[in-house]
Structure 1
Amino acid sequence: MKPFFSVLISLYNKENFIKSTLESVRAQTFHDFEIIVVNDGSTDGSEAVVQSISYHRIRYFKQDNKGAASARNAAISNANGKYFALLDADDLWQENYLETIHQLILSYPNQKVYATAVSIETANGEIRSVYSIKNITDGEIYLVDYFESSYINTLLTSSSTVVHPSVFAKTGTYDTSIKSGQDTDLWIRIGIHYKIVFINLPLVTYRYGKESLSNKIKRVVDKPKFDNYTDLEAVNPSMKKFIDLNRFSMAILSKLENDQISFNRFEKAIDYKNLNKKQQFLLKQPPSVVRCFYFFKKRIEYLGIHLSAFK
Protein backbone atom coordinates (compact mmCIF):
# COMPACT_ATOMS: atom_id res chain seq x y z
CA MET A 1 0.00 0.00 0.00
CA LYS A 2 1.26 3.45 -0.87
CA PRO A 3 2.23 5.68 2.05
CA PHE A 4 0.26 8.89 2.21
CA PHE A 5 3.42 11.04 2.24
CA SER A 6 6.87 10.59 0.77
CA VAL A 7 9.28 12.85 2.65
CA LEU A 8 11.98 13.84 0.14
CA ILE A 9 15.42 14.78 1.49
CA SER A 10 18.51 15.53 -0.59
CA LEU A 11 21.66 15.27 1.52
CA TYR A 12 25.07 16.84 1.04
CA ASN A 13 27.55 17.36 3.88
CA LYS A 14 25.02 17.86 6.68
CA GLU A 15 26.43 15.49 9.29
CA ASN A 16 25.78 18.02 12.08
CA PHE A 17 22.13 18.49 11.10
CA ILE A 18 20.68 15.40 9.42
CA LYS A 19 20.07 13.43 12.62
CA SER A 20 17.88 16.12 14.20
CA THR A 21 16.13 16.67 10.87
CA LEU A 22 15.24 12.98 10.64
CA GLU A 23 14.23 12.92 14.31
CA SER A 24 11.80 15.77 13.63
CA VAL A 25 10.19 13.61 10.93
CA ARG A 26 10.16 10.54 13.14
CA ALA A 27 8.35 12.52 15.85
CA GLN A 28 5.39 13.38 13.60
CA THR A 29 1.94 12.74 15.01
CA PHE A 30 0.83 11.58 11.55
CA HIS A 31 2.60 8.29 10.83
CA ASP A 32 1.66 7.21 7.30
CA PHE A 33 4.85 8.20 5.48
CA GLU A 34 8.13 7.02 4.02
CA ILE A 35 11.41 8.96 4.07
CA ILE A 36 13.52 9.09 0.92
CA VAL A 37 17.10 10.24 1.60
CA VAL A 38 19.37 10.76 -1.42
CA ASN A 39 23.02 11.31 -0.49
CA ASP A 40 24.54 13.48 -3.22
CA GLY A 41 28.16 12.34 -2.77
CA SER A 42 28.72 13.75 0.72
CA THR A 43 32.38 13.92 1.76
CA ASP A 44 31.74 14.25 5.50
CA GLY A 45 30.11 11.81 7.92
CA SER A 46 26.55 12.30 6.67
CA GLU A 47 26.20 8.74 5.40
CA ALA A 48 27.37 7.25 8.70
CA VAL A 49 24.85 9.38 10.60
CA VAL A 50 21.94 8.22 8.44
CA GLN A 51 23.01 4.59 8.58
CA SER A 52 23.31 4.76 12.37
CA ILE A 53 19.57 5.49 12.60
CA SER A 54 17.50 2.32 12.76
CA TYR A 55 14.12 3.35 11.41
CA HIS A 56 12.08 1.24 9.02
CA ARG A 57 10.54 4.21 7.21
CA ILE A 58 13.89 5.45 5.85
CA ARG A 59 14.85 4.46 2.30
CA TYR A 60 18.44 5.48 1.63
CA PHE A 61 20.05 6.10 -1.77
CA LYS A 62 23.41 7.50 -2.74
CA GLN A 63 24.87 8.92 -5.92
CA ASP A 64 28.00 10.70 -7.09
CA ASN A 65 27.90 14.43 -6.46
CA LYS A 66 25.65 15.92 -9.15
CA GLY A 67 24.12 18.86 -7.32
CA ALA A 68 20.98 19.53 -5.30
CA ALA A 69 18.64 19.53 -8.31
CA SER A 70 19.77 16.07 -9.39
CA ALA A 71 19.47 14.67 -5.86
CA ARG A 72 15.99 16.13 -5.44
CA ASN A 73 14.92 14.66 -8.78
CA ALA A 74 16.31 11.27 -7.71
CA ALA A 75 14.22 11.46 -4.54
CA ILE A 76 11.13 12.28 -6.60
CA SER A 77 11.74 9.33 -8.95
CA ASN A 78 12.09 6.90 -6.02
CA ALA A 79 9.04 8.12 -4.09
CA ASN A 80 5.89 6.02 -3.73
CA GLY A 81 3.66 8.32 -1.71
CA LYS A 82 0.33 9.86 -2.62
CA TYR A 83 1.85 13.28 -1.82
CA PHE A 84 5.44 14.47 -1.80
CA ALA A 85 6.67 16.50 1.21
CA LEU A 86 9.89 18.41 0.57
CA LEU A 87 12.46 18.79 3.36
CA ASP A 88 16.02 20.12 3.39
CA ALA A 89 18.56 18.04 5.29
CA ASP A 90 19.20 20.76 7.88
CA ASP A 91 15.68 22.00 8.66
CA LEU A 92 13.12 20.93 11.26
CA TRP A 93 9.40 20.18 11.34
CA GLN A 94 7.09 20.73 14.28
CA GLU A 95 5.57 17.41 15.33
CA ASN A 96 2.15 18.31 13.88
CA TYR A 97 3.45 19.42 10.47
CA LEU A 98 2.30 16.39 8.45
CA GLU A 99 -0.94 16.12 10.42
CA THR A 100 -1.71 19.76 9.58
CA ILE A 101 -0.91 19.25 5.89
CA HIS A 102 -3.08 16.12 5.89
CA GLN A 103 -6.00 18.19 7.20
CA LEU A 104 -5.40 20.81 4.51
CA ILE A 105 -5.54 18.10 1.86
CA LEU A 106 -8.82 16.75 3.25
CA SER A 107 -10.25 20.26 3.37
CA TYR A 108 -9.05 21.23 -0.12
CA PRO A 109 -9.03 17.92 -2.05
CA ASN A 110 -9.18 19.59 -5.47
CA GLN A 111 -5.96 21.54 -4.92
CA LYS A 112 -2.45 20.16 -5.50
CA VAL A 113 0.02 22.38 -3.59
CA TYR A 114 0.09 22.97 0.16
CA ALA A 115 2.39 24.95 2.45
CA THR A 116 2.83 26.31 5.97
CA ALA A 117 4.61 29.36 7.32
CA VAL A 118 8.29 29.20 8.27
CA SER A 119 10.39 30.42 11.19
CA ILE A 120 14.00 31.37 10.55
CA GLU A 121 16.65 30.44 13.09
CA THR A 122 19.10 33.25 13.84
CA ALA A 123 21.88 33.85 16.35
CA ASN A 124 19.34 35.62 18.56
CA GLY A 125 16.40 33.24 18.30
CA GLU A 126 13.76 32.55 15.70
CA ILE A 127 11.91 35.11 13.58
CA ARG A 128 8.74 34.60 11.58
CA SER A 129 8.91 34.79 7.82
CA VAL A 130 6.68 37.56 6.43
CA TYR A 131 4.43 37.21 3.37
CA SER A 132 2.56 39.63 1.11
CA ILE A 133 -0.93 38.27 1.86
CA LYS A 134 -3.39 41.06 2.66
CA ASN A 135 -4.78 41.11 6.21
CA ILE A 136 -2.91 37.90 7.05
CA THR A 137 -3.86 36.35 10.41
CA ASP A 138 -2.16 33.67 12.51
CA GLY A 139 -3.65 30.22 12.06
CA GLU A 140 -5.82 31.16 9.09
CA ILE A 141 -5.93 29.17 5.84
CA TYR A 142 -5.64 30.93 2.48
CA LEU A 143 -6.01 29.84 -1.12
CA VAL A 144 -3.66 32.25 -2.87
CA ASP A 145 -1.72 33.16 -5.96
CA TYR A 146 1.92 32.25 -5.39
CA PHE A 147 3.38 35.37 -6.99
CA GLU A 148 1.14 37.92 -5.23
CA SER A 149 1.86 36.24 -1.88
CA SER A 150 5.65 36.09 -2.30
CA TYR A 151 6.77 39.68 -2.88
CA ILE A 152 8.44 39.85 0.57
CA ASN A 153 9.39 36.21 1.14
CA THR A 154 8.59 33.13 -0.91
CA LEU A 155 5.43 31.32 0.17
CA LEU A 156 6.97 28.02 -0.94
CA THR A 157 10.25 26.69 0.44
CA SER A 158 12.17 23.44 0.15
CA SER A 159 11.01 22.38 3.62
CA SER A 160 7.45 23.71 3.87
CA THR A 161 5.90 22.56 0.58
CA VAL A 162 3.84 19.46 -0.18
CA VAL A 163 2.67 18.63 -3.70
CA HIS A 164 0.65 15.97 -5.45
CA PRO A 165 2.89 13.95 -7.83
CA SER A 166 0.84 15.16 -10.80
CA VAL A 167 2.33 18.63 -10.23
CA PHE A 168 5.74 17.45 -11.42
CA ALA A 169 4.15 15.77 -14.42
CA LYS A 170 2.75 19.18 -15.42
CA THR A 171 5.57 21.54 -14.43
CA GLY A 172 8.62 19.30 -14.75
CA THR A 173 11.06 18.68 -11.92
CA TYR A 174 14.14 20.62 -10.81
CA ASP A 175 16.29 22.14 -13.57
CA THR A 176 19.71 20.50 -13.20
CA SER A 177 21.38 23.25 -15.26
CA ILE A 178 20.79 25.67 -12.37
CA LYS A 179 23.36 25.15 -9.61
CA SER A 180 21.82 27.49 -7.04
CA GLY A 181 18.23 28.69 -6.84
CA GLN A 182 16.70 25.83 -8.75
CA ASP A 183 13.87 25.81 -6.20
CA THR A 184 12.89 29.38 -7.17
CA ASP A 185 12.68 28.29 -10.80
CA LEU A 186 10.41 25.41 -9.80
CA TRP A 187 8.18 27.67 -7.68
CA ILE A 188 7.67 29.91 -10.71
CA ARG A 189 6.51 26.99 -12.81
CA ILE A 190 4.22 25.81 -10.01
CA GLY A 191 2.85 29.34 -9.55
CA ILE A 192 1.94 29.54 -13.23
CA HIS A 193 -0.38 26.53 -12.99
CA TYR A 194 -1.54 26.18 -9.37
CA LYS A 195 -3.01 28.10 -6.48
CA ILE A 196 -1.39 27.48 -3.08
CA VAL A 197 -3.27 26.26 0.01
CA PHE A 198 -1.38 28.05 2.77
CA ILE A 199 -1.82 27.98 6.54
CA ASN A 200 -0.21 30.80 8.47
CA LEU A 201 1.31 28.65 11.18
CA PRO A 202 5.14 28.44 11.50
CA LEU A 203 5.48 24.66 11.55
CA VAL A 204 8.93 24.60 9.90
CA THR A 205 12.24 25.92 11.22
CA TYR A 206 14.74 27.06 8.62
CA ARG A 207 18.18 26.65 10.17
CA TYR A 208 20.48 29.41 9.01
CA GLY A 209 23.81 28.15 10.32
CA LYS A 210 27.19 29.70 9.58
CA GLU A 211 28.22 26.62 7.65
CA SER A 212 25.03 26.65 5.57
CA LEU A 213 25.42 27.39 1.88
CA SER A 214 22.48 29.74 2.26
CA ASN A 215 24.58 31.97 4.51
CA LYS A 216 27.24 32.64 1.88
CA ILE A 217 27.36 34.93 -1.11
CA LYS A 218 26.66 32.69 -4.09
CA ARG A 219 27.90 33.27 -7.62
CA VAL A 220 25.41 35.01 -9.84
CA VAL A 221 26.40 32.79 -12.78
CA ASP A 222 24.98 29.80 -10.88
CA LYS A 223 21.58 31.45 -10.39
CA PRO A 224 18.42 31.35 -12.53
CA LYS A 225 18.30 33.83 -15.45
CA PHE A 226 14.47 33.87 -15.81
CA ASP A 227 14.78 34.12 -19.61
CA ASN A 228 12.20 31.38 -20.17
CA TYR A 229 9.38 33.45 -18.66
CA THR A 230 9.52 36.67 -20.67
CA ASP A 231 6.41 35.98 -22.75
CA LEU A 232 4.33 34.87 -19.75
CA GLU A 233 5.42 37.90 -17.72
CA ALA A 234 3.95 40.17 -20.36
CA VAL A 235 0.44 38.89 -19.64
CA ASN A 236 0.80 38.16 -15.90
CA PRO A 237 1.55 41.33 -13.88
CA SER A 238 1.95 39.57 -10.54
CA MET A 239 4.40 37.12 -12.07
CA LYS A 240 6.29 40.01 -13.68
CA LYS A 241 6.59 41.80 -10.33
CA PHE A 242 7.74 38.62 -8.54
CA ILE A 243 10.43 37.93 -11.15
CA ASP A 244 11.50 41.59 -11.20
CA LEU A 245 12.04 41.38 -7.43
CA ASN A 246 14.20 38.32 -8.02
CA ARG A 247 16.03 40.17 -10.79
CA PHE A 248 16.67 42.94 -8.26
CA SER A 249 18.31 40.38 -5.96
CA MET A 250 20.42 39.07 -8.83
CA ALA A 251 21.42 42.62 -9.83
CA ILE A 252 22.55 43.32 -6.26
CA LEU A 253 24.49 40.05 -6.21
CA SER A 254 26.11 41.13 -9.49
CA LYS A 255 27.21 44.38 -7.85
CA LEU A 256 28.67 42.46 -4.91
CA GLU A 257 30.68 40.41 -7.42
CA ASN A 258 31.64 43.40 -9.61
CA ASP A 259 29.97 41.61 -12.52
CA GLN A 260 28.77 44.50 -14.66
CA ILE A 261 27.64 42.30 -17.55
CA SER A 262 25.28 40.29 -15.32
CA PHE A 263 24.07 43.47 -13.63
CA ASN A 264 23.18 45.02 -16.98
CA ARG A 265 21.33 41.89 -18.09
CA PHE A 266 19.15 41.74 -14.98
CA GLU A 267 18.67 45.49 -14.51
CA LYS A 268 17.50 46.23 -18.04
CA ALA A 269 14.69 43.64 -17.72
CA ILE A 270 13.27 45.24 -14.56
CA ASP A 271 10.24 47.50 -14.61
CA TYR A 272 11.19 49.98 -11.87
CA LYS A 273 7.51 50.40 -10.98
CA ASN A 274 7.71 46.93 -9.44
CA LEU A 275 10.44 48.03 -6.99
CA ASN A 276 10.10 50.06 -3.80
CA LYS A 277 12.16 53.18 -3.12
CA LYS A 278 14.86 51.30 -1.17
CA GLN A 279 15.34 48.84 -4.01
CA GLN A 280 15.50 51.57 -6.63
CA PHE A 281 18.06 53.44 -4.51
CA LEU A 282 20.29 50.39 -4.07
CA LEU A 283 20.35 49.60 -7.78
CA LYS A 284 21.75 53.07 -8.47
CA GLN A 285 24.62 52.79 -5.97
CA PRO A 286 28.19 51.82 -6.94
CA PRO A 287 29.39 48.33 -5.94
CA SER A 288 31.49 49.68 -3.06
CA VAL A 289 28.43 51.24 -1.42
CA VAL A 290 26.32 48.11 -1.95
CA ARG A 291 29.03 45.99 -0.32
CA CYS A 292 29.10 48.32 2.69
CA PHE A 293 25.32 48.02 3.07
CA TYR A 294 25.52 44.23 2.70
CA PHE A 295 28.18 43.67 5.35
CA PHE A 296 26.51 46.16 7.70
CA LYS A 297 23.25 44.22 7.34
CA LYS A 298 25.02 40.92 8.09
CA ARG A 299 26.79 42.37 11.12
CA ILE A 300 23.72 43.81 12.81
CA GLU A 301 21.82 40.55 12.26
CA TYR A 302 23.99 39.13 15.06
CA LEU A 303 22.46 41.81 17.31
CA GLY A 304 18.98 40.60 16.45
CA ILE A 305 18.25 43.49 14.07
CA HIS A 306 16.96 42.40 10.66
CA LEU A 307 16.84 44.79 7.74
CA SER A 308 15.23 44.01 4.41
CA ALA A 309 14.93 45.85 1.11
CA PHE A 310 11.67 43.97 0.48
CA LYS A 311 9.47 45.72 3.05
Structure 2
Amino acid sequence: MQKVSIVMASYNGSLFIEKQVKSIVCQMQPKDELIISDDGSTDETINIIKSFSDDRIKLLNGPQKGVIKNFEFAIQHASGEIIVLSDQDDIWIKNRLQHIRNYFSIAENLAVYHSRFTNIDAKGNVTSLLSTTFNTGIVKNVIKNQYIGAMMAFSAPLKEYILPFPENIAMHDQWIGLVNEVLQGGIKVSDELEVLYRRHSQNLTGKNKRISIRKKFSNRLFMIYYLLKKFIYIKRKNL
Protein backbone atom coordinates (compact mmCIF):
# COMPACT_ATOMS: atom_id res chain seq x y z
CA MET A 1 0.00 0.00 0.00
CA GLN A 2 1.31 3.43 -0.93
CA LYS A 3 2.38 5.80 1.81
CA VAL A 4 0.29 8.97 2.08
CA SER A 5 1.67 12.31 3.24
CA ILE A 6 -0.98 14.80 4.30
CA VAL A 7 0.43 18.32 4.39
CA MET A 8 -1.27 21.10 6.33
CA ALA A 9 -0.31 24.76 6.69
CA SER A 10 -1.43 26.15 10.04
CA TYR A 11 -1.60 29.63 11.50
CA ASN A 12 -3.76 30.69 14.45
CA GLY A 13 -6.20 27.89 13.72
CA SER A 14 -7.16 26.98 17.29
CA LEU A 15 -10.90 27.33 16.68
CA PHE A 16 -11.09 24.50 14.15
CA ILE A 17 -7.82 22.58 13.82
CA GLU A 18 -8.63 19.92 16.42
CA LYS A 19 -11.72 18.72 14.53
CA GLN A 20 -9.83 18.69 11.27
CA VAL A 21 -6.90 16.70 12.64
CA LYS A 22 -9.30 14.19 14.20
CA SER A 23 -11.11 13.76 10.87
CA ILE A 24 -7.77 13.02 9.19
CA VAL A 25 -5.91 10.73 11.60
CA CYS A 26 -8.83 8.31 11.87
CA GLN A 27 -8.39 7.61 8.13
CA MET A 28 -4.61 7.20 8.13
CA GLN A 29 -2.69 3.96 7.86
CA PRO A 30 0.23 3.19 10.23
CA LYS A 31 2.95 4.30 7.80
CA ASP A 32 1.18 7.51 6.70
CA GLU A 33 2.20 10.93 7.97
CA LEU A 34 0.45 14.21 8.73
CA ILE A 35 2.91 17.07 8.30
CA ILE A 36 1.73 20.32 9.89
CA SER A 37 3.86 23.36 9.13
CA ASP A 38 2.95 26.14 11.53
CA ASP A 39 3.71 29.69 10.46
CA GLY A 40 4.17 31.25 13.89
CA SER A 41 0.79 30.84 15.58
CA THR A 42 0.23 32.99 18.67
CA ASP A 43 -2.94 31.25 19.87
CA GLU A 44 -3.38 27.67 21.14
CA THR A 45 -2.76 26.01 17.76
CA ILE A 46 0.62 24.53 18.71
CA ASN A 47 -0.64 23.18 22.04
CA ILE A 48 -3.64 21.58 20.33
CA ILE A 49 -1.42 19.85 17.77
CA LYS A 50 0.95 18.63 20.49
CA SER A 51 -1.98 17.25 22.49
CA PHE A 52 -2.39 14.47 19.91
CA SER A 53 -0.43 11.43 21.02
CA ASP A 54 0.30 10.18 17.52
CA ASP A 55 3.78 9.63 16.10
CA ARG A 56 2.42 10.04 12.59
CA ILE A 57 1.87 13.77 13.22
CA LYS A 58 4.97 15.82 12.46
CA LEU A 59 4.96 19.45 13.54
CA LEU A 60 7.33 21.80 11.70
CA ASN A 61 8.28 25.42 12.26
CA GLY A 62 7.21 27.08 9.04
CA PRO A 63 9.16 29.77 7.15
CA GLN A 64 6.74 32.54 8.22
CA LYS A 65 6.56 33.94 4.70
CA GLY A 66 2.85 33.43 4.06
CA VAL A 67 0.57 30.54 3.23
CA ILE A 68 2.05 29.68 -0.19
CA LYS A 69 5.59 29.36 1.14
CA ASN A 70 4.27 27.47 4.14
CA PHE A 71 2.64 24.85 1.91
CA GLU A 72 5.81 24.68 -0.20
CA PHE A 73 7.84 24.01 2.96
CA ALA A 74 5.48 21.27 4.10
CA ILE A 75 5.46 19.58 0.67
CA GLN A 76 9.27 19.58 0.62
CA HIS A 77 9.19 17.46 3.79
CA ALA A 78 6.62 14.96 2.48
CA SER A 79 8.00 11.45 1.96
CA GLY A 80 4.89 9.63 0.76
CA GLU A 81 4.05 8.39 -2.74
CA ILE A 82 0.79 10.32 -2.51
CA ILE A 83 0.62 13.91 -1.22
CA VAL A 84 -2.70 15.26 0.04
CA LEU A 85 -3.18 18.96 0.78
CA SER A 86 -5.24 20.05 3.77
CA ASP A 87 -6.51 23.31 5.21
CA GLN A 88 -6.56 23.66 8.98
CA ASP A 89 -10.27 24.37 9.35
CA ASP A 90 -12.17 21.88 7.17
CA ILE A 91 -13.57 18.44 8.02
CA TRP A 92 -12.83 15.34 5.98
CA ILE A 93 -15.66 12.93 5.33
CA LYS A 94 -15.00 9.29 6.23
CA ASN A 95 -13.29 7.26 3.48
CA ARG A 96 -11.76 10.25 1.68
CA LEU A 97 -8.27 8.83 2.01
CA GLN A 98 -9.43 5.39 0.87
CA HIS A 99 -10.94 6.89 -2.29
CA ILE A 100 -7.66 8.71 -2.93
CA ARG A 101 -5.66 5.51 -2.43
CA ASN A 102 -7.94 3.62 -4.78
CA TYR A 103 -7.38 6.16 -7.54
CA PHE A 104 -3.60 6.38 -7.22
CA SER A 105 -3.26 2.60 -7.15
CA ILE A 106 -4.23 2.65 -10.84
CA ALA A 107 -3.32 6.22 -11.83
CA GLU A 108 -0.60 7.39 -14.16
CA ASN A 109 2.84 8.35 -12.81
CA LEU A 110 1.75 12.00 -12.75
CA ALA A 111 -1.78 12.70 -11.59
CA VAL A 112 -4.03 14.99 -9.57
CA TYR A 113 -7.12 14.02 -7.59
CA HIS A 114 -9.77 16.62 -6.69
CA SER A 115 -12.49 15.99 -4.10
CA ARG A 116 -16.06 17.18 -4.29
CA PHE A 117 -17.08 19.38 -1.39
CA THR A 118 -19.81 21.41 0.19
CA ASN A 119 -19.31 24.70 2.04
CA ILE A 120 -19.94 25.07 5.76
CA ASP A 121 -19.76 28.17 7.95
CA ALA A 122 -17.86 28.75 11.18
CA LYS A 123 -20.53 26.87 13.14
CA GLY A 124 -20.52 23.88 10.79
CA ASN A 125 -23.81 24.72 9.06
CA VAL A 126 -23.98 23.75 5.37
CA THR A 127 -24.15 26.89 3.24
CA SER A 128 -24.01 25.51 -0.30
CA LEU A 129 -24.92 22.49 -2.38
CA LEU A 130 -22.43 19.77 -3.25
CA SER A 131 -19.96 20.94 -5.88
CA THR A 132 -20.80 19.19 -9.16
CA THR A 133 -18.82 20.98 -11.86
CA PHE A 134 -15.11 20.94 -12.53
CA ASN A 135 -13.56 22.09 -15.79
CA THR A 136 -10.12 20.98 -16.89
CA GLY A 137 -8.10 22.83 -19.48
CA ILE A 138 -5.08 25.12 -19.23
CA VAL A 139 -6.74 28.20 -20.72
CA LYS A 140 -9.90 27.78 -18.66
CA ASN A 141 -7.97 27.43 -15.43
CA VAL A 142 -5.70 30.37 -16.14
CA ILE A 143 -8.75 32.56 -16.71
CA LYS A 144 -10.80 31.14 -13.82
CA ASN A 145 -9.09 28.67 -11.54
CA GLN A 146 -11.08 25.53 -10.65
CA TYR A 147 -8.42 23.90 -8.49
CA ILE A 148 -8.87 24.20 -4.72
CA GLY A 149 -5.86 23.14 -2.69
CA ALA A 150 -7.90 21.75 0.20
CA MET A 151 -9.51 19.30 -2.25
CA MET A 152 -6.31 18.19 -3.97
CA ALA A 153 -4.00 15.19 -3.84
CA PHE A 154 -1.20 14.49 -6.27
CA SER A 155 1.43 11.88 -7.08
CA ALA A 156 4.84 12.50 -5.49
CA PRO A 157 6.76 12.57 -8.83
CA LEU A 158 4.95 15.83 -9.58
CA LYS A 159 7.06 17.52 -6.85
CA GLU A 160 10.00 17.67 -9.26
CA TYR A 161 8.01 19.94 -11.58
CA ILE A 162 6.03 22.12 -9.16
CA LEU A 163 8.77 23.00 -6.64
CA PRO A 164 9.87 25.56 -5.85
CA PHE A 165 6.66 27.54 -6.26
CA PRO A 166 7.27 30.56 -8.48
CA GLU A 167 7.12 34.03 -7.00
CA ASN A 168 4.05 36.16 -7.72
CA ILE A 169 1.60 33.31 -8.37
CA ALA A 170 -1.88 33.82 -6.96
CA MET A 171 -2.06 30.46 -5.18
CA HIS A 172 -0.21 27.16 -5.13
CA ASP A 173 -3.26 25.05 -6.03
CA GLN A 174 -3.67 26.65 -9.45
CA TRP A 175 0.04 26.14 -10.15
CA ILE A 176 -0.02 22.46 -9.17
CA GLY A 177 -3.12 21.76 -11.25
CA LEU A 178 -1.89 23.60 -14.33
CA VAL A 179 1.61 22.09 -14.26
CA ASN A 180 0.01 18.66 -14.14
CA GLU A 181 -2.08 19.60 -17.18
CA VAL A 182 1.01 20.86 -19.03
CA LEU A 183 2.57 17.47 -18.32
CA GLN A 184 -0.63 15.76 -19.50
CA GLY A 185 -1.00 14.01 -16.16
CA GLY A 186 -4.17 12.25 -15.10
CA ILE A 187 -7.02 14.16 -13.45
CA LYS A 188 -9.73 12.57 -11.33
CA VAL A 189 -12.68 14.31 -9.66
CA SER A 190 -14.31 12.33 -6.86
CA ASP A 191 -17.74 10.86 -7.42
CA GLU A 192 -19.13 11.90 -4.04
CA LEU A 193 -18.82 14.36 -1.18
CA GLU A 194 -15.46 14.11 0.60
CA VAL A 195 -14.80 17.45 2.30
CA LEU A 196 -16.77 19.95 4.38
CA TYR A 197 -15.07 23.15 3.22
CA ARG A 198 -15.28 25.74 5.98
CA ARG A 199 -15.63 29.34 4.81
CA HIS A 200 -15.31 32.04 7.44
CA SER A 201 -13.81 35.49 7.97
CA GLN A 202 -10.37 34.21 9.04
CA ASN A 203 -9.65 31.77 6.18
CA LEU A 204 -6.01 31.72 5.08
CA THR A 205 -7.02 30.60 1.58
CA GLY A 206 -10.14 30.62 -0.57
CA LYS A 207 -12.33 32.73 -2.77
CA ASN A 208 -13.52 35.04 0.00
CA LYS A 209 -10.28 37.02 -0.29
CA ARG A 210 -10.90 40.21 -2.25
CA ILE A 211 -8.41 40.88 -5.04
CA SER A 212 -8.34 43.98 -7.24
CA ILE A 213 -8.90 43.68 -10.99
CA ARG A 214 -5.33 44.85 -11.60
CA LYS A 215 -3.96 42.20 -9.26
CA LYS A 216 -6.07 39.48 -10.90
CA PHE A 217 -4.74 40.53 -14.32
CA SER A 218 -1.11 40.52 -13.16
CA ASN A 219 -1.61 37.12 -11.49
CA ARG A 220 -2.77 35.67 -14.82
CA LEU A 221 0.18 37.16 -16.67
CA PHE A 222 2.63 35.71 -14.17
CA MET A 223 0.94 32.33 -14.36
CA ILE A 224 1.14 32.29 -18.18
CA TYR A 225 4.81 33.31 -18.01
CA TYR A 226 5.77 30.60 -15.54
CA LEU A 227 3.78 27.94 -17.36
CA LEU A 228 5.56 28.79 -20.60
CA LYS A 229 8.90 28.50 -18.82
CA LYS A 230 7.85 25.15 -17.41
CA PHE A 231 6.69 23.94 -20.83
CA ILE A 232 10.04 24.91 -22.40
CA TYR A 233 11.92 23.20 -19.56
CA ILE A 234 9.94 19.99 -20.00
CA LYS A 235 10.47 19.98 -23.78
CA ARG A 236 14.22 20.46 -23.42
CA LYS A 237 14.43 17.79 -20.74
CA ASN A 238 12.73 15.28 -23.04
CA LEU A 239 14.94 15.97 -26.05
Q: Same fold (TM over 0.5)?
A: yes
Partner of 1:218: 210
Partner of 2:3: 4
Partner of 1:125: 126
Does 1 or 2 have the higher relative contact order (CA < 8 Å, sep 6+)? Answer: 2
Q: Equivalences for 1:164-243 in 2 at 5 Å?
A: 164-178=155-169, 181-193=171-183, 194-213=185-204, 214=206, 216-220=208-212, 225-228=219-222, 229=224
Cα gap change, 1:210/1:92 in structure 2, threshold over 3 Å: closer, same or farther? Answer: same
| Aligned residue identity for 1:170 | Y
Gaps of 5+ in 2: 229-239
Deviation at residue 158 of structure 1 after TM alignment: 1.5
Partner of 1:41: 40
Deviation at residue 210 of structure 1 after TM alignment: 3.1
Cα gap change, 1:231/1:161 in structure 2, threshold over 3 Å: closer, same or farther? Answer: closer
Q: TM-score, normalised by structure 1?
A: 0.61
Contact 1:6–1:35 (Cα < 8 Å) also in 2? yes
Q: As a proportion of its length, which structure holds more helix?
A: 1
Identity %: 21
Q: TM-score, normalised by structure 2?
A: 0.78
| Aligned residue identity for 1:59 | K
In 2, the alpha carbon distance for the partners of 1:151 and 1:30 equals: 38
Deviation at residue 216 of structure 1 after TM alignment: 4.8
Q: Equivalences for 1:81-160 in 2 at 5 Å?
A: 81-122=80-121, 125-126=126-127, 127-132=129-134, 145=137, 154=146, 156-160=147-151
Cα gap change, 1:48/1:222 in structure 2, threshold over 3 Å: closer, same or farther? Answer: farther
Equivalent position SS for 1:159: helix
Cα gap change, 1:160/1:128 in structure 2, threshold over 3 Å: closer, same or farther? Answer: same
The Cα offsets for residues 184-231 of structure 1, whole Å up to 9 and x where unpaired, read as 233333332223122221101110123324475434376662214169
Cα gap change, 1:31/1:145 in structure 2, threshold over 3 Å: closer, same or farther? Answer: farther
Equivalent position SS for 1:54: coil
The Cα offsets for residues 44-66 of structure 1, whole Å up to 9 and x where unpaired, read as 22111111121111011113521
Partner of 2:234: none
| Aligned residue identity for 1:171 | I
Deviation at residue 80 of structure 1 after TM alignment: 1.1
Contact 1:69–1:175 (Cα < 8 Å) also in 2? no
Deviation at residue 32 of structure 1 after TM alignment: 4.1
Q: More displaced, 160-169 or 223-232?
A: 223-232
Partner of 1:161: 152
Deviation at residue 174 of structure 1 after TM alignment: 3.0
In 2, the alpha carbon distance for the partners of 1:230 and 1:170 equals: 15
Equivalent position SS for 2:74: helix
Contact 1:147–1:191 (Cα < 8 Å) also in 2? no
Deviation at residue 95 of structure 1 after TM alignment: 1.8
Deviation at residue 146 of structure 1 after TM alignment: 6.7
Gaps of 5+ in 1: 134-143, 234-311
